[in-house]
Structure 1
C-alpha cells in the first residue's frame, strides 16, 4: 500500500481517489471545502484502502508540502472556474511544483487538449502548442514550466490529457453528462453548442483514472504528456443515439445552439465568453490520437457498450424517474 495525494475533488479527483483506494492505497484528497456535507472526513473500503479529506488552499505550497510528504504521487486534479483560469491557475500550479520538489512525489498533472488549438483535427502528444486562446495558453504554460523543472532534475512529472469526459460521476456541465442525458431520457430536445455532427474524442472517467495512475507509477512515462486511451471518436449525435437505444428512449431530437448566440451571451456573461472561445471543439473534428499512450501505458479504453451501460445505470441511480418511450 502506498500513500497518494490528490488535489481537487471534482469528477476526475473523486474517480481517481476511489480507484486508488480500491487498489488498497491510502489516499489524501485536498480541497478548499473538505468532505461533502454529511460525509465523513475519512472512509475505508473493503480492499483496505482509505480516502481522507483535508481542507487545503491549493495555492499554499507549505500546506501542500505537509500533506504530500511521504506520497508516491501528487495528482493535480483541480479545475478552476472557466473565467478564472488566468488568475487562479498560476499560483496553484506554482505551489504544486514547489510541493513536488520538496517531497519527491511524482507530480501527475490532469491535462486537457486545449493547448493544441483550433484547426488541429487529429491531435498527437508531440504536437507543439499552437493555441491562441487564453485558457489553452494557461495550460500550455503550466506544462512547459513543469517540464522545465523535470528536465533540470528538480522534480519528476508527467501530464495525462483527456478530452470531454463522460461516465459515472460526470457533473451537469459535461457535454455528455446530465446535460445531455436528462433531456434525452425525457424525450426532450437536446441543445448542444455549435454542432452535433463532428467526430469527437470522448474520455471515460474510469479510463482517465487508470491512465493517471499508470503514468504515475511508470518511470518511462515521466517527462512527457500522454493522451488517455479513449474509445473510437463519435459525434455527439451518435453518442446520444447509443444512449437512447440502450435506455429504450425515443431517438434524440437535436437543435444546436448557434455559435453566434453563444458569443452574444458572452458579451454579458464571463463564463459564456469562455465557452464561446472553445466552440471550435464541436464545429470541426476534434480527435486525439492515443496510439502512443496505449503502447507505453499498456492500457486499452473501455468499449462504448460498457461505457453506455455503466453511465446510464449511474445516471438513473442519481436521477430516478420515468423514461420517455419510443413511439
Structure 2
C-alpha cells in the first residue's frame, strides 16, 4: 500500500481517489476546506496547496502527487502560478511523481486533429498559463529535479463536471430548448471523466510516461447535436431543440459576467471542428477509451439523480482544466 496525494476534489480528483482506493492504495486528498470522497481509504486534509512547505510535508512518503486542482476560471493568471510552483516544489523535495491534469487550451486554434506534438501556440491568457506550467515542469524533469507527466482531455462527460455537455444535456433531457454559443454540427471530441482518472493513474505509475504529455483516450468525435440526440434517445426524451446563441450575445454577457467574459478567449473551440487525437496513450500506455454511449448513459443517469437538487438549465459552455 503506497501513499498517493491528490490536490483537488472536483470530478477528476474524486474519480482518481476512488480508483486508487479501490486498488488498495492509501489516498490523501488536499483541499482548502478538507472536502473529498467519503471512503475509509481516503484521508481528507484542509490545507492551502499553494504553500510549498505545507504541501511538501503532506506529500512526504508519497509515490505520486496528482494535480487535479481547478482555480476559478477568471483567476487562472493569478492563482495557477503559485499553486503550480508549490506542486512542482513538493514533487522535487519528496521524489513523488507529479501527474497533472491539463487541457487543450495551450494549442490555441488548430486546423485538424491535435496531437501531443501540436505546437503550443496559444495566444490567450489561459492557454499561455497552461503552457508556462508545463514548460516549467518539463524543465525540472529534464534537469533531474522532479519526475513529471501530464494528461490532457477535451470537454468532459461525467457526473459533477461543468463542461459543455453539462449545460447542453440538462435542458435536452427536460424537453426544453438548449441555447448555447456553439456550432451544434461541428465534430467535437468528448472525454469521459473516468478515462481521465484512469490515464492519470497509469501515467503516474509508468516510467515510460514520465517527461511528456498524453491525450486522454477518447471515443471518435461527434457533434454536439449528435451527442444531444443520443442522450435524448437513451433517456426517452423528445428530440433536442438546439438554438445557437450568436457570438455578440456571449460578448454582451461578458460585460457583466466575469465567466462569460473569459469564454470569449476560447470561443473558437465551439465554432469549428475541435478534434483530439489520443492514439498514443492507447498504443503506448494501453488505455482504451470508454465507448461514447456507455459514458453518455452514465452521464445521463448522474444528471437524473442530481436533477431534484440542481434542476436543469442552459447557458454558455464551461470548461474544466
After TM superposition, the score normalised by the length of structure 1 is: 0.92
Question: Matches of 2:216 and 2:287 in 1, distance apart?
Answer: 9
Matched residue, 2:44: 53
Question: Matches of 2:112 and 2:81 in 1, distance apart?
Answer: 28
Shift of 1:318: 2.0
Matched residue, 1:73: 64
Matched residue, 1:26: 26
SS in structure 1 of the partner of residue 187 of structure 2: coil
Does the alignment pair 1:176 with 2:165? yes
Q: Are 2:217 and 2:281, in contact at CA under 8 Å, matched by a contact in 1? A: yes
Matched residue, 1:306: 294
Which residue of 241, 253, 260 maps to 1:253? 241
Shift of 1:276: 1.5
Question: Matches of 1:259 and 1:124 in 2, distance apart?
Answer: 28
SS in structure 1 of the partner of residue 180 of structure 2: coil
Which residue of 123, 128, 132 maps to 1:141? 132
Shift of 1:161: 0.3
SS in structure 2 of the partner of residue 278 of structure 1: helix
After superposition, give the CA deviation of every residue in 1:6-59 in whole Å (9 maximum; x if it has no partner): 0011111111111111111111000111126xx86xx32xxxxx1111011121
Which residue of 262, 271, 280 maps to 1:274? 262
Matched residue, 1:5: 5
Question: Matches of 1:297 and 1:67 in 2, distance apart?
Answer: 29
Shift of 1:320: 4.8
Shift of 1:221: 0.6
Question: Matches of 1:77 and 1:157 in 2, distance apart?
Answer: 14
Matched residue, 1:113: 104
Q: Are 1:15 and 1:169, in contact at CA under 8 Å, matched by a contact in 2? A: no
Shift of 1:292: 1.1
Does the alignment pair 1:205 with 2:193? yes
Question: Matches of 1:32 and 1:120 in 2, distance apart?
Answer: 40
Q: How large is the Cα RMSD of the aligned pairs?
A: 1.6
Task: Name the structure, 1 or 2, with higher relative contact order (CA <8 Å, separation 6+).
Answer: 2
SS in structure 2 of the partner of residue 183 of structure 1: helix
Shift of 1:119: 2.9
Any gaps of 5 or more consecutive residues in structure 2? Answer: 310-321
Q: Are 2:115 and 2:277, in contact at CA under 8 Å, matched by a contact in 1? A: yes
Does the alignment pair 1:128 with 2:132? no
Any gaps of 5 or more consecutive residues in structure 1? Answer: 45-49, 322-327
Matched residue, 1:14: 14
Which residue of 193, 206, 221 maps to 2:209? 221
Q: Are 2:7 and 2:68, in contact at CA under 8 Å, matched by a contact in 1? A: yes
Matched residue, 1:242: 230
Shift of 1:263: 1.4
Question: Matches of 1:80 and 1:320 in 2, distance apart?
Answer: 27
Of the structure 1 ranges 302-311 and 142-151, higher mean CA displacement relative to structure 2 is found in 302-311
SS in structure 1 of the partner of residue 289 of structure 2: coil
Question: Matches of 1:182 and 1:125 in 2, distance apart?
Answer: 32
Question: Matches of 1:106 and 1:18 in 2, distance apart?
Answer: 19
